[in-house]
Amino acid sequence: METYSRILMHFIFTLHAINPRIEAFTFGTRLNRITHYLRKKDVEDAMDLLSESVNDWSGGTRIGETLETFNLLWARRVLGGGAVVLVISDGWDTGEVEKLEREIDRIHRSCHRLIWLNPNLGYEDFQPLTRGVQALLPHTDDFLCIHNLNSLVDLGKVLCNLGRRRTATNPEAYA
């Protein structure tokens, strides 16, 4: 994920500039709310502050545990009003898979749409073999690749065309 983190942070910074109500979090071994960094005028300043303050950047992921923290501390505050949740992850997880499945299901039921962005999906030979990927897929409305600039353009189109009802972009095709 580290390879893609910088460009994705630029994308999130741009989204926040368009809509300042966007909330952003990182998750590795713990959850970090980073919304206040997105308020910086310069994305490079925000990136410098992020790299200094997020101690577990590129330190492995315990997705279930961090999503549990999100659900306990933030979900009620930020998932109302038709929230769209973007989970940007390769699905590699070192935590409890049962907890991951329970917590992602809770988020999925609390939001308007859950979009999972996975950089590995852009590879032709991608297979959903890890337990983390298998736990996340059933709770995902859209499963999209996020491995290059064209995939960011595609994501922008999906976000612009969100309907009022859930109509999945076929995550079952990878199950």
CATH code, domain carrying 46: 3.40.50.410
CA dist., res. 90 & res. 138, Å (int): 15
At 148, which amino acid appears? N
Domain count, the chain: 1
User: What pLDDT was estimated at residue 156?
Assistant: 86
In a domain, 173, yes or no: no
Model confidence over 42-73: pLDDT tens digits?
Answer: 888 888 887 777 766 555 578 899 999 999 99
pLDDT at 118: 86
Whether 167 is covered by a domain: the verdict is: no
Render pLDDT for 104-133 as a digit per residue (tens, 0 to 9).
999 999 999 999 998 888 778 888 777 888
Host domain of residue 101 = 2-161
89 within a domain of the structure (yes/no): yes
Q: Is residue 123 part of a domain?
A: yes
- Tell me, yes or no, whether 39 lies in a domain: yes
Give me the pLDDT at residue 39, please: 87
- pLDDT, mean of residues 21-43: 86
